[in-house]
Amino acid sequence: MPTIKELKGQLKQKTDKAPEKYYPVEKLKEKGFQRSRCKNCGKYFWVQGESELCGDPECSGQYTFIGDSPCSKKMDFIKAWQEFSKLFEKLGYTPIKRYPVVARWRDDTYWTNASIYDFQPHVVSGLVEPPANPLVVPQVCMRFNDIDNVGITGRHYTSFVMIGQHAFVPPDQKFDKNQYISDMMDWLEIGMGLPLHEVKFHEDQWGDGGNLGVCMEFFARGLEIGNQVYMLYDVKDDGTYKDLNLKVLDMGMGQERCPWMSMGTATSYECNFPTVVKKLYKETGVKPNQDVIKRFLPYSGLLDMEEDKSIDKTWEEIAEKLSMDVKNLKEETLPLAGLYSIGDHARTLLFAITDGALPSNVGGAYNLRIILRRALGFIDEFGWDVSLQDVCREHAAYLKPQYPELTETVDDLQKIFEIEEKRYQSTKAKSIKIVSRLLEKGFSDAELVSLYDSNGISPEILKEEAKNIGKEIKVPADFYSKVAELHPEVERAKKKDEFNVSGIQPTNILYYSQKGLSFDATVLKVIDKKKIILDKTVFFPTGGGQEHDIGKLNDLNVIDVQKAGGGTVVVHILEKSGLKKGDKVHGVVDKNRRMALSKLHTAAHVIGGAARKVLGSHIWQAGSQIDPNKGRLDITHYKALTEDEKKQIEKLANETIKKGTKISKNVKNKKEAESKYGFTLYQGGAIPGKDIRVVEIPSWDVQACAGTHLDNVSEIIEKPIHNIANTVVDTVDAVMESANGYKQVAETAFETMESIKCLL
Ligand SMILES: [Zn+2]
Ligand SMILES: [Zn+2]
């Protein structure tokens, strides 16, 4: 199969020849734009008047809006979305709320990286209706691939807001590119007061995730403002492509870019978190030397750590260009870069923690620990009296008009930061010995990275220690990116279907609807003599953290039950062979085991709800395992639970069980369920398909869950009340943090083993 790059190349040949078939040429011409070809890179672009070079800074040179904005309107970050959403509402779009930065509705990514992520895969595929159509959304996106550039280049962030303009258009409706680009032109011209003769639209091709399309990137004065993608084709395995069922408009514009263009400040941070920058100037005493910064920034891009390997040399070159001494230049710029990084990192942490992520040692959340330590490292290095918590508070206050939810969680951050800081300090203390030994023997870049990864020793700590003994060490410029690379965001371990069930109809599932545990069915297929597929079943197959049922088909023991065929077919595994295709069977599910599983599964939901009430809204289910003897619930918490916290959770859980609450279990349309309950639904992970089964313990816990559940929480216990204590008390047990002190996900296991035994 050709690569996406090759496919884009093929498509480019077509778009180069017949742009009117792919791009909104009609509107561009109407607005006085002409097609031109960049004499540097050869790309086609559209511009009013004459221009030989496209808008890419590689071709047209450095930013020319700094200190000289072409916009007649001035806006800060907050005003940008206010104005944008107001205009687009008038144009017929519905502004919707952002989605969480942790993409819990997907199983292929940890973070939300772009506004279109909100609608992948099911809205884009046409399975699920969009929340509005067309719509605009201020989506907070996390991107940790440029950590080392944040602060220094004036434009990099670990999180930014992508304003999305989206439309999902079925074949019988018009996919109106001319209108979409016209709406964006209105924003640039009317909304931002940016004259269109300043804007260059680039013809480009786009491909991702099995889809192919074309796009128009738009630039002004060397700055890319946004990119309007028209998703058109579905790419097949052989590399041919056909029209998508649903054509999708995917325009993404950095909200941070609009204020920057309109204000022309030296860095993009000053206009995007103005109150935070001011506060940090005041607290650190760092004052930007406007003259140096203004002269330095056009070259700061050269320090792009990823692309540049010889960082020292680049510093020297820049200093020479500015006729400055390197040491002097660094003294003027590095503290500022640290200060802006603190601002950026605090904002990212605020969004991420609000949405239920925690600095951790695993998966995508590892990046949060990296940036938290990087921020603490700057505070240490420059000896500043800065509280990250206060910086977050300032962010939350500033962002309140756009994201009021941040003010509600900002207080929770204090505890998390305190603990993380303690860990950081203790690592530092422990590391002194290791460091002095290392400094004597020398080390490679790889060793440096692994030193951080396994012992938490950051280059900042290392540098400081080295300085104390009069040595200097070199740290690779892309250090943090290298560390992040060691921690893939999502570890995918998808099991392949072991059973060949092609041609078999989906099993009619009775375990949700039927109260009784016996049924009659017909054998549709027998695999390897002992694996039986029926037309219908009451047997629950292993899935969603819950173990399978056991029981009998006629007089044969069912010892395992699994899903196959993408979850649509149930396979019963017998102890002995004895059935053939067409046989009529009478099935009976083992009641004791089913009850034990249902009780423990329901108990897991009760305890999860109790943990959230006791520990805070950041509590998410990180995993659960329900087998008949015990249940385990992993929750995301920033430290091991104290005895007191455990007791409180137990108490609350028991009170709820005692009180008794009806549990509702309903299959609901995904769109409606998401808008009613939010993404806390996906505690147990992303759920494929159009509909989801919502299990709700009112005002306590609500989840999309496929497990078997009781009808009332009081059924967890059937014994007299004094036994309740035994059920959950003794049972909530937090697994200790690992020896090095920063295994993050506090694993809370609850084992109702004894009590369940006594119940049955
Ligand atoms: Zn060019
Ligand atoms: Zn569940």
Across the range 494-501, mean pLDDT stands at 62
- Per-residue pLDDT tens over the stretch 666-678: 999 888 888 888 8
- Long-range pairs, 499-506, Cβ under 8 A, ≥24: 499/527, 499/531, 499/562, 499/564, 499/565, 499/569, 499/571, 500/527, 501/525, 501/533, 501/564, 501/565, 501/569, 501/571, 502/565, 504/533, 504/565, 504/569, 505/535, 506/565, 506/568, 506/569
- When pLDDT is cut at 50, 70 and 90, the band that residue 321 belongs to is confident
List C-alpha distances in Å: 123 to 95, 120, 227, 640. 17, 6, 21, 39
**Confidence category of residue 498, pLDDT binned at 50, 70, 90:** low
In this predicted model, which residue has the larger pLDDT, 324 or 686? Answer: 324
Counting ligands in written order, which one lies closest to the CA of residue 605? 2
pLDDT score of 154 more than 70: yes
pLDDT tens by residue, 155-171: 899 999 999 999 999 98
Percent share of the chain, pLDDT over 70: 91
Residue 436 has pLDDT above 50, yes or no: yes
State the pLDDT at residue 109: 83
612 CA distance to ligand 2 middle (Å): 15
| Cα-to-centroid distance, 50 and ligand 1 (Å) | 14
Q: How far apart are CA 361 and CA 201, in angstroms?
A: 43
Identify the pLDDT of residue 106.
82
Instruction: Give the per-residue pLDDT at 492.
Output: 44
Which residue would you say has higher pLDDT here, 663 or 313?
A: 663
Best-predicted range by mean pLDDT (122-126, 220-224, 292-296, 512-516): 220-224
In this predicted model, what pLDDT tens digit does every residue of 8-51 receive, in sequence order?
A: 999 999 999 999 999 999 999 999 999 999 999 999 999 998 89
Q: Ligand 1 center to residue 52 CA distance, Å?
A: 9
pLDDT reading at 720 higher than 50: no
Question: What is the reported pLDDT for 104?
Answer: 82
| Cα of 622 from ligand 2 centre, angstroms | 12
Partners of residue 169 on adjacent β-strands: 247
Ligand that lies nearest to the alpha carbon of residue 203, given by its number in the listed order = 1
∠ CA 233-239-240, nearest 5°, is 55
Q: Between the ranges 295-299, 404-408, 637-641, 738-742, where is the mean pLDDT highest?
A: 404-408
Look at residue 110 in the predicted model and tell me its pLDDT: 86
Task: Look at residue 406 and tell me whether its pLDDT is greater than 70.
Answer: yes
- pLDDT above 90 covers what percent of the chain? 45
Average pLDDT over all residues of the chain: 84
Rounded to the nearest angstrom, the distance between the alpha carbon of 655 and the centre of ligand 2 is 20
Instruction: Work out whether strand 518-527 and strand 630-635 pair parallel, antiparallel, or are unpaired.
Output: unpaired
Report the pLDDT value the prediction gives residue 718, as an integer from 0 to 100.
56
CB 347 within 8 A of CB 273: yes
pLDDT at position 723: 33
Say if residue 501's pLDDT is above 60: yes
Ligand 1 centre and the CA of 276: distance in Å? 36
Pull the structure tokens for residue 525. 């297929």
Q: What DSSP character marks residue 546? A: B
**Ligand 2 centroid vs 749 CA: distance in angstroms?**
15
- The ligand that comes nearest to the alpha carbon of residue 56 is 1
Helical H segments across 486-632, by residue range: 591-615
pLDDT of 218 above 90: yes
- Stretch 109-136: mean pLDDT, rounded? 90
At 647, the pLDDT band (50, 70, 90 cuts) reads confident
Span from the CA of 520 to the centroid of ligand 2 (angstroms) = 28
The pLDDT of residue 202 = 96
Q: Report pLDDT for 243.
A: 87
- Residue 733: pLDDT band (50, 70, 90) is very low
Query: Hey, what are 79's tokens?
Result: 């005003």
- Ligand number with the minimum distance to the CA of 204: 1
**517 CA → ligand 2 middle, Å:** 20
Which ligand ends up closest to the CA of 696? 2
Ligand nearest to the CA of 695: 2
pLDDT winner (highest mean) among 124-128, 212-216, 659-663: 212-216
Which listed ligand is nearest to 631 at the C-alpha?
A: 2
744 has pLDDT over 90: no
Ligand 2 centroid to Cα of residue 553, in Å, is 27
CA of 705 from ligand 2 middle (Å) equals 5
Name, in order, each residue with C-beta under 8 angstroms of 664's C-beta and a sequence gap of 6 or more. Answer: 694, 695, 696, 698
pLDDT confidence of residue 488:
65
Please tell me the predicted confidence (pLDDT) of residue 760: 21
When computed from its CA atoms, the radius of gyration of the chain, rounded to whole angstroms, is 29
Tell me the CA–centroid distance for residue 746 and ligand 1, in Å: 51
Q: Closest ligand to 702 CA?
A: 2
Q: Closest ligand to 36 CA?
A: 1
pLDDT class of 420 with cuts at 50, 70, 90: confident
Which has the minimum average pLDDT: 273-287, 445-459, 516-530? Answer: 445-459
Cα 619 to middle of ligand 2, angstroms: 15
- How many A from CA of 320 to the centre of ligand 1? 28
Q: Which ligand is nearest to the CA of 38?
A: 1
Q: How far is the CA of 61 from the centre of ligand 1 (A)?
A: 10
- Interval between CA 221 and ligand 2 midpoint (Å): 53
Cα of 436 vs centre of ligand 1, distance in Å, is 50
Q: How far is the CA of 178 from the centre of ligand 1 (A)?
A: 24
Q: What are the structure tokens assigned to 588, written together? A: 């009976």
Is pLDDT at 402 greater than 90 in this prediction? Answer: yes
Query: Which of the ligands is closest to the CA of residue 51?
Result: 1
Ligand 2 centre and the CA of 591: distance in Å? 19
Task: Work out the widest C-alpha separation in the chain, in whole angstroms.
Answer: 91
Q: Residue 757 pLDDT > 70, yes or no?
A: no
Q: Give the pLDDT score at 671.
A: 84
* Residue pair 27/178 in contact by the 8 Å Cβ criterion: yes
Ligand lying closest to the C-alpha of residue 709: 2
**Mean pLDDT on 241-248:** 88
Q: What distance in angstroms lies between residue 24's CA and the mean position of ligand 2's atoms?
A: 48
Cα 689 to ligand 1 centre (Å): 43
- pLDDT number for residue 302: 72
pLDDT in tens, 40-96: 999 999 999 889 999 988 888 778 898 899 999 999 999 999 999 999 999 999 999
Closest ligand to the CA of 663: 2
Give the number of other Cβ atoms within 10 Å of residue 513's Cβ. 8
47 CA from centroid of ligand 1 (Å)? 13
CA of 62 to the centre of ligand 1 (A): 13
> pLDDT class for 557, splitting at 50, 70, 90?
very high
Distance 43 CA to ligand 1 centre (A): 6
Q: Does the pLDDT at position 597 exceed 50? A: yes
Long-range contacts of the stretch 738-742 (C-beta < 8 A, 24+): 740/454, 740/455, 740/456, 741/423, 741/426, 741/427, 742/361, 742/369, 742/423, 742/427, 742/456
Residue 428 pairs with which residues in a beta bridge? none
